[in-house]
A and B are shown apart, each in its own frame.
Chain A
Amino acid sequence: MRVESNRAEILSQTECSELFGAVQQAAKALGISDIEALFGAHCGALTRFANNTIHQNVAEQGRWISIRVALDQKTARATTNRFDLDSIRAAVEQALALARSAAPNPDILPLPVPSAISEIKRFDVETANATPEHRGRVVSEAIRAVEGNGQTAAGIYSTGQSVEAIFNSRGVAGWHAETMAQFSITAMAGNSSGWAKSSAVSHSAIDPLALARSAAEKAHLSRDPQEIAPGRYTVILEPAAVLDLVGQMFGDFSATAVADRRSFLTDRLGSKLFGDNIHITDDVAHPLQAGVPFDGEGVPRRKLTLVEAGVPRELAYSRSSAHRSGVEPTGHGFPLPNEIGEAPLNIVVAGGSTPLDQMIASTDRGILVTRLWYIREVDPYEKIMTGMTRDGTFLIENGRIARGLRNFRFNQGIVELLNKVEALSPAVRASGEESFDMVVPAMKVRDFNFTEVTRF
């Protein structure tokens, strides 16, 4: 891996600075002094395979500029992907017209002044420049590993780079570039399947062949899955399953959500809600994390202690919600205007010292879950979520994986779940499909509530 200082040719810091000069000039001509511009660029490619062949293979590149005009307690945004001066002028005029049309909102603050933003190096040149041939070779090798077992492979391998930047007329100038690679694979046998996924700033940190072999092994082990009755079971959730489920609660760690009384933390902050072994932070600088070190107004993200020994401690604050509460913003606000406010996006759930194999070995009867699917909120205050297991669900008996199982539907409260965690593995960077990537451990949980079984 060759992680260099943030370096991207798709939209440089200098180019953003020059473009913002054009934005300010257009604003000045309209008599506007307070103006903000967000810049974004993406250049990425994804090679997709199914039935042991590459069937979709795509690349896209795009850039955008999003301009916010701030009048007295009025604000609005206009976005365009045209970068010529006429289009920039038109976007400024559009943002101004929209802002003038809106009623005053006392929650809208004047634009912020700059705060020091720490640079985070998350740009890998080789990942940014990965070729279709590279992806094709990697995918071919992974397919062969699965196909060699008489199974069928489907998955993706993506590589790319992105830039996010914010400039405002009071001197805020934040710019961040990063790369990201992602590989996921599903191996399908006659009546079973297995899955594995990984993501990283550098493609060299991903081992596609190992992921392919792991998925194939799960498909093999779960062959001829049997049906057992739904009910409450001890469950071992692999890290991807943990993030998919537990990840559903972090939008509630928002000061705006609590103020709106739509968060399950309403009237619960500071009280013991989860088990003693639950510690969760939000930390954009964590070495296994990804993402931008500033928020939608250019405020630097600071580390948050979201849960300490089972007690929800801190919330994410935008400037507006912080102002209402008389505290400092934490750098988690979304671009304005918006109704949501803010959210933590760089979750780190503290791990323990029990490896997955020890969790299995210590379980007389339980269920091992690889992955969860289609998770939706049933009850917003108890945070009851429903969803399905998928691609590798196993019965554990007498400390060993006994057989594959047909997939279950669960209806499980997250508050209840985080009170019944019996063991945690060391935390890893995990990637799922139902929530954003996080640093999480595997968890052994008692009394997990499966309510139905499906047909496969």
Chain B
Amino acid sequence: MKQLALDALDSAQRPGVTYADVRLIESRDRELGTKNGKPGQVSSDESVGVGIRVLADGCWGFAATDDLTRTGVESAAALAVGIARSSALAKKHDVNLAPEARHEATWVSPCRIDPFSVSVEEQLGLLTAIDNELRRASGVTLAQTSMTFHRSRQIFVSSIGSVIDQTRTFSGAGFEALSFQGDQIQKRSYPNSFGGQHQLKGYELIRELDLLAHAPRVAEEAVALHSADQCPEGRFNLILDGSQLGLQVHESVGHPIELDRVLGSEANYAGMSFLTLDKLNHLRYGSDFVNAVCDARLEHGPGLGTFAFDDEGVPAQSSDIIRNGQFVGYMTSRETAAAIGAPRSNGTMRATSWARLPLIRMTNVSLLPGEQTLNEVFGGVDHAIYMETNRSWSIDDKRYNFQFGCEIAWEIKNGKRIRMLKNPTYSGITTEFWNACSAVANRDHWVLWGVPNCGKGQPEQVIGTGHGASPARFHNIKVGAAYAG
């Protein structure tokens, strides 16, 4: 593979080309599922191809192909250069890149149990057992389970001499129980919605999740929601579980700090950001309890955004984003770092496949754990509403106004659950919300969640991101507006 990538790089280095990089990727997927006791998705996928990115005449061009013959690769390289030159028809200035060192490395992500070596019978057997358990609860009208595995090997080579060989293995699994009664459909999922939990791990993740043991409770909760009271409308102390808070971080911290959005690259589709450049080091993003980082290093955890090098050959880094409530950093690329005078990219360029251009994407954007115990988070106020597991999510195109719905909630009095609530939603303005943070649970309750379905770019790229979070409390939050009308 390496020689093929180097040949592609040679093809791309034509007169007028000032920079080129090549990503040759070989990937493998397995997807399994069940529905109401019957096999659902049972499939595998493999793909190989090359993406060639060049800077010529001061403009970018990119071409990708799965034709890996000499002719196919040379054609793609020529097309990338031709596209870059055509970009000059609407050029305002030459693209500049922040400096980056040459790197040579081989890296394989930790994977204790190769998920592709575990038999499909065993994997489907576990899913079927969970499915059966879910349907033991009277009132469950739909049970669904799923398991996904992905492995990709990427050879990155660039005209500054970098040669980086990375292999990463991801696993994910989860299940959901739906209950239809009268005029309502209620749902509970485990360990999260969006197909459960997803991490940079092998099959050991599936065993750690202990899926079968949680099936009876989840099924019973789905049915019990029909008898629960409607979540009230008003302003309340709000406690969020870690998985929901992870998505809150994703939408109201992760996306706004993408520097390409800030600079307008996504204006026509994913939108821009309220975090204009004047706010760096000046905006009070949250309360003192709020500390967030963007961290792609393995030391942070095995997240969907964990790697050794990003997709333009920059090493994984940890960058402070919010420090004691103060906004202190963006996610950058070599181009956007240069645009704001930063000395170096902090390494967040990622593409979904060989066919797509790397963009600034969240790596692992995490809320760091606080110091409170779980009892202090729940018991620190007389009265609160605790919400768990995302059901709906929406935020405006500059990332100010958001609304989330959760699958289930409980009213909390003096730290104790006193009644279950259905159809909980909450909404707010990003900075007001984070400034209302009054407690964050400690590292004992911190989990690095995987969000597998983050969309951005045109053509759209759906990628996985990581978000560490522990349960946290917020005061005076608007609850229930979605059902108030």
Which of A's residues lie within 8 Å of B, judged by CB? Answer: 44-64, 74-82, 91, 94-95, 97-99, 101-103, 105-107, 131-133, 135-137, 139-140, 143, 152, 154-156, 158, 184-186, 188, 193, 195, 232, 260-262, 266, 337-339, 373-382, 384, 386-388, 390, 407, 409, 411-412, 433, 449, 451-456
Contact = CB atoms under 8 A, between A and B. Distances in A.
Contact of A61 (B62, B66, B357, B458): B66
A61 to B, nearest CB: 5
Given A50-B268, A76-B42, A132-B83, 11 more contacts: A52-B90, A53-B91, A59-B63, A61-B65, A78-B43, A79-B44, A101-B119, A338-B40, A339-B35, A388-B397, A456-B396
The 10 closest A-B pairs by CB, nearest first: A136-B89, A132-B86, A101-B120, A454-B401, A154-B267, A261-B180, A339-B40, A76-B42, A77-B43, A154-B268
A449 B485 contact: yes
A261 B178 contact: yes
A137 B403 CA distance: 41
A143 B268 CA distance: 13
Interface residues of B, number: 88
A60 B64 contact: yes
Nearest to A106: B38
Interface of B: 33, 35-36, 38-49, 51, 59-67, 79-80, 82-93, 119-121, 124, 128, 141-142, 144, 178, 180, 183-185, 187, 263-269, 271, 274, 355-357, 391-398, 400-401, 403, 405, 423, 425, 427, 429, 458-459, 481-485
Contacts of A411: 403, 481-485
Contacts of A106: 38
Contact of B62 (A57, A79, A139, A232): A57
Contacts of B45: 78-80
Contacts of A49: 90
B427 A452 contact: yes
Q: Is the interface of A mostly helix, strand, loop or mixed?
A: strand
B66 A376 contact: no
5 contacts: A52-B90, A53-B90, A58-B83, A133-B89, A382-B183
Given A62-B65, A152-B264, A262-B185, A103 B124 contact: yes
A376 B84 CA distance: 37
Contacts of A53: 90-93
Given A135-B86, A156-B268, A373 B396 contact: yes
Contact of B79 (A48, A59, A337, A374): A59
Contacts of B391: 378
A57 B86 contact: yes
Contacts of B425: 378
Contacts of B266: 50
B267 A82 contact: no
A78 B42 CA distance: 9
B62 A376 contact: no
A382 B185 CA distance: 10
Contact of B142 (A261, A384, A452): A261
Contacts of A195: 268
Contacts of B66: 61-63, 81
A188 B124 CA distance: 52
A75 B42 contact: yes
Contacts of A101: 42, 119-121, 124
A452 B42 contact: no
Contacts of A103: 38-39, 124, 128
A57 B60 contact: yes
A48 B356 CA distance: 13
